[in-house]
Amino acid sequence: MVRTVAALPEFYLAAARHHADAVVVVGLAASGWLACRSHAARHGAARELSSAACGIAFAAAAAGAALASRFLPLPTGIEPALEASLLLSRATLLGMTALLCAVAFLAANRSALLRAELRDRAEAERRLQHAKAAADEASRAKGDFLAVMSHEIRTPLNAVMGFANLLRESPLDDIQRSHVATIIAEGARLGALMNDILDLSKIEKGSLTLECVPFAPAEIAQDVLRLFGPRAAQRAVELRLEESDLSDLVVNGDPLRFRQILVNLVDNALKFTPRGSVTIALAWTKPSKPGGLGGLRTAVRDTGIGIEREKIAGLFQMFTQADSSTTRRYGGTGLGLAICRRLAALMGGEISVRSEPGQGSEFAVALPFRAEAAAAEPVVRLRMPATVPVRTAPVFGKRLA
């Protein structure tokens, strides 16, 4: 033991005699506190650093130093063995005090950083919620504006169309007749656009409610075929229906919206198919248990211009067309597929596309329906009004009767 004490550096012994080691511990505690504060401030956690915890840690250090000085002094001229044991006890007490104090400061600092992080996250979440509420509000305002505008435009448009139709029936020369035909065709296009915008704003606002009545999908497909028949014949495109014996199938759902999807898809298929065929294919997957939901897959296949792979994903966004020249060459505004996707989603289904440039495309809608037990008659039947000018304004056919 004596040898160990002799091996201790002389300056520590001297320092301990003058209580400099205790002063150093108190000084270290004070600098630890300052370091803690500046570290927390650098990380934006000054407010979260607990002064009470730091104060207690500092007080503990001061108490340890006071205890060491009071009960473990090192007067000169005492027995070397006693001196050694006093020195060891003093060093242990001060060392433990310094260690405890360091741990307390570290813990206070860490918890301040954690609390600051939590505060930042809560703040960010609050800001996000505000931004979302503002965006929702803006989107609602935009939707309302669109709905009101399209409504307001539709009213005078109906009058214009009515008088244009009356004018067509009056005695006109060839040039006047062609002018009136242009007014009617363009008016019908504008009407279809207004209707699309109205539908979209209704869907976006969540105010579009679906019906649930029994209807026969095959009948609706036939009806759509009849609607587009003249236009297909005019372009020498074959239009056909492929249904694996679904004539008896009656499902519960919204026939108008189902028809709207089909009309949009067939309208596109015909528009982008200069030659060849357009096929509507219906397939029914029975429910796994009686009374459950079955799956109706309605595909519209064409042998048209097709779509490049990288363009496909964007087609379902509003006002998006595969090509910037599409509007000029084929007309349209890029709303049809956006409506189809939203309607399909509203009905609990989805729409998918397969396409090969130059080969053709297939747009398929998969919708869940509950099948009706084979109904003898009361099935919803849809008819377009006899006056729909399919030939002169094919886009008008997109709209429901």
Query: Which residues form the interface with ligand ATP (CB under 6 A)?
Result: 196, 264, 268-269, 272, 302, 304-307, 315, 321-323, 326, 332-338, 361, 395
Q: Which is nearer to ligand ATP, 98 or 395 (CB)?
A: 395
Q: Which is nearer to Mg ion, 197 or 246 (CB)?
A: 197
Q: Closest distance between ligand ATP and the C-beta of residue 234, in Å?
A: 18
Q: How far apart are CA 127 and CA 146, in angstroms?
A: 28
The conformation of residue 127, written as its DSSP 8-state character, comes to: H
Q: Closest distance between ligand ATP and the C-beta of residue 121, in Å?
A: 40
Q: Closest distance between Mg ion and the C-beta of residue 353, in Å?
A: 13
Q: Closest distance between Mg ion and the C-beta of residue 218, in Å?
A: 23
Q: How far apart are CA 60 and CA 118, in angstroms?
A: 29
Q: Closest distance between ligand ATP and the C-beta of residue 183, in Å?
A: 19
Q: How far apart are CA 8 and CA 69, in angstroms?
A: 19
Q: How far apart are CA 268 and CA 289, in angstroms?
A: 36
Of ligand ATP, Mg ion, none, which one sits near residue 333, judging by CB under 5 to 8 A according to partner kind?
Answer: ligand ATP
Q: Are 186 and 223 in contact (CB under 8 A)?
A: no
Q: Closest distance between Mg ion and the C-beta of residue 147, in Å?
A: 21
Q: Which is nearer to Mg ion, 177 or 311 (CB)?
A: 311
Label residue 280 exposed, middle or buried (CB < 10 Å: 0-12, 13-18, 19+). Answer: buried
Site track for Mg ion across 317-346, x = CB under 5 A:
-------------------x----------
Q: Which is nearer to ligand ATP, 279 or 361 (CB)?
A: 361
DSSP 155-187: HHHHHHHHHHHHHHHS---HHHHHHHHHHHHHH
Of Mg ion, ligand ATP, none, which one sits near residue 65, judging by CB under 5 to 8 A according to partner kind?
Answer: none
> Beta-carbon neighbour count of residue 7 at 10 Å?
7
Q: Closest distance between ligand ATP and the C-beta of residue 366, in Å?
A: 17
Query: Which of 262, 328, 337, 259 lies closest to 301, judged by CA?
Result: 262
Is 143 a binding residue for Mg ion by CB under 5 A? The answer is no
Number of residues that bind Mg ion (CB under 5 A): 2
Site track for Mg ion across 268-297, x = CB under 5 A:
x-----------------------------
DSSP 339-383: HHHHHHHHTT-EEEEEEETTTEEEEEEEEEEEEPS--SS--B---
Q: Which is nearer to Mg ion, 73 or 331 (CB)?
A: 331
Q: Which is nearer to ligand ATP, 83 or 196 (CB)?
A: 196
- Judged by CB under 5 A, the stretch of 51-59, 65-73, 263-271, 359-367 that binds Mg ion is 263-271
Q: Which is nearer to ligand ATP, 177 or 311 (CB)?
A: 311
Q: How far apart are CA 281 and CA 244, in angstroms?
A: 8
Q: Which is nearer to Mg ion, 97 or 150 (CB)?
A: 150
Q: Which is nearer to Mg ion, 258 or 284 (CB)?
A: 258
In the chain, what is the straight-line distance between the N-terminal and C-terminal CA atoms, in Å? 107
Of ligand ATP, Mg ion, none, which one sits near residue 304, judging by CB under 5 to 8 A according to partner kind?
Answer: ligand ATP
Helix (H) or strand (E) holding 74: none
Q: Closest distance between Mg ion and the C-beta of residue 334, in Å?
A: 7
Of Mg ion, ligand ATP, none, which one sits near residue 397, judging by CB under 5 to 8 A according to partner kind?
Answer: none
Of Mg ion, ligand ATP, none, which one sits near residue 253, judging by CB under 5 to 8 A according to partner kind?
Answer: none
- Judged by CB under 5 A, the stretch of 8-16, 55-63, 204-212, 264-272 that binds Mg ion is 264-272
> Beta-carbon neighbour count of residue 38 at 10 Å?
11
Q: Closest distance between ligand ATP and the C-beta of residue 172, in Å?
A: 29
Tell me the angle at which helices 51-71 and 20-42 cross, rounded to the nearest 10 degrees.
170
Q: How far apart are CA 219 and CA 242, in angstroms?
A: 12
The one-letter amino acid at 87:
L
Q: Closest distance between ligand ATP and the C-beta of residue 313, in Å?
A: 11
Segments of 158-292 assigned E as strands: 213-215, 237-243, 251-253, 276-285
3-state secondary structure of 282: strand
Q: Which is nearer to Mg ion, 250 or 338 (CB)?
A: 338
**Residues making contact with Mg ion (CB under 5 A):** 268, 336
